[in-house]
Amino acid sequence: MFKKILIANRGEIAVRIIRACRELGVSTVAVYSDADRRSLHVALADEAYHIGGSAPGESYLKKENIIDAALKSGAEAIHPGFGFLSENEAFAEMCEKAGIVFIGPSPEAIRLMGDKITARKIAFDAKVPLVPGSEGAVSDVEASVVANGIGYPLMIKASAGGGGKGMRLVRSKDDFESALRMARSEARSAFGDDSVYVERFVEQPRHIEIQLIADSYGNTLHLFERECSIQRRHQKVIEEAPSGFISAKTRKKMGEVAIKIAKAVKYSGAGTIEFIMDQKQNFYFLEMNTRVQVEHPVTEMITGFDIVKWMIRIAAGEKLPFKQGDIEMNGHAVECRVYAENPATNFMPSPGTIEYLSTPSGPGIRDDSAIYNGCEITSFYDPMLSKLIVWADTREAAIDKMASALREYIVLGVKTNIGFLRRVMADEEFRKCKIDTGYIERHPELINPEARDMKPALIAAAIAMENSTGSGPQSQTAAASNWKLFARRSGVTRSPLA
């Protein structure tokens, strides 16, 4: 086992990795930007090194600075987390040349699966189902020919990246040229590469992914599926495991297909094969993420398998002691991504300072977070505050537990999507698992409710009264001040203290 690991990331995933290392008896090294000097991951790590300015391009994307910090600290390995350099082939190669273990797949596997067009070809050669579309990156003329061939609606997708960047849904021929220009422009801005490909759009698609874990000795296992269909701007918001939609037969087949793809590139470490699925449970390969996923906790909750620890163990040369038959599902888990954003303004980020924080707890409740009272949420990074995960025996019970936990989750100082998440948990279609990637667009009433839920206001009022001491004028002023703070941030106008 390694003695010291550097975490080339920030936020909740850096905290998650630090805690896993601590349980394994491994010392940790954090890196931080100007904006993250007071971040939780910096406080929790055994050592911390400054790597540059606040913008990601000046710090967390600076390969040389991170390698230099690893060498100075004596770290034997680097865990990249997700985002930033986690799927960067050049960074993985730099680690190898510096004599540092990259906790993830080989640079070659990252290269092969990181380009969506190459990944599609690998899946095609492995006889994996694919959505009809172009065989590779296409010119504007070729894209038009392919579009006319496969028909509308269709998707234009960036070849070099993911996360919804450079992606456009086109429903008619009249919209194709403008959508193609916008997709190329966004892809160029996000990835420095404007190449795109075209594929048929699956109506009412579900986003189902298979979690994989593989060692360096040829052993590859799947840890079942996750349903990630609740999305905004092609980015996941709510995930659950297992899916409440697919059959045991489909689950088995998807797992076998995912393993086949991983073996085709001699994959090692944790990875995810993403599929698009229609309403008849026909599934098609979408892409492979060669890193740990944001939503990995729901898989951990239903399998008891610590994905982050096993990433580290595999990188250290350990062999998986399990067979596929040893991995079992137990119960149901749901994850909600809590964002500092305003759903009413198209989920725009809401930077600011967290002035009060109270998080839920109890049996079957897990809050993966890096926020605290007084911490600043900047505009430099993704606005995700935390991941709230719950587990229960059944899907219905897990949704009920999540609804209860969200009612206890209070964040003051920035706008959040907590109210939106609560409304989704109460929605009849969601509870009946009648969902697809267009669910949020079909339910604007969940984004802009006619009436506000007053329970957070009542909780805030109770907190204000609890924090005040005695019954004199000073304590009453403190309670009123706390209420005014909440009212200003939430938009509630009538105090229950009145």
Residues with a catalytic annotation lie at 291
Cα 477 to Cα 329: distance, rounded to the nearest angstrom: 53
Own/partner pairs for 169-173, CB < 8 Å, 24+ apart? 169/201, 170/201, 173/147, 173/148
DSSP 207: E
- Chain centroid offset of residue 114 CA: 17
Pick from 316, 209, 317, 329: nearest CA to 262: 209
Query: Which residues lie below 8 Å from residue 367, measured CB to CB, with a gap of 6+?
Result: 359, 360, 361, 386, 387, 388, 389
Q: Are 43 and 374 in contact (CB under 8 A)?
A: no
Q: HEC string of 446-494? A: HHCCCCCCCHHHHHHHHHHHHHCCCCCHHHHHHHHHHHHHHHHHHCCCC
Pick from 117, 80, 81, 83: nearest CA to 100: 80
Would you state the structure tokens that stand for residue 444, as one six-digit string? 């604007």
The residue with tokens 């929605």 is 427
In the structure, how many helices (H) and strands (E) does the chain have?
18, 22
Pick from 162, 231, 149, 152: nearest CA to 191: 162
Cα 380 to Cα 17: distance, rounded to the nearest angstrom: 22
- For the four alpha carbons of 174, 177, 180 and 185, in that order, the dihedral sign comes to negative
DSSP 202: P
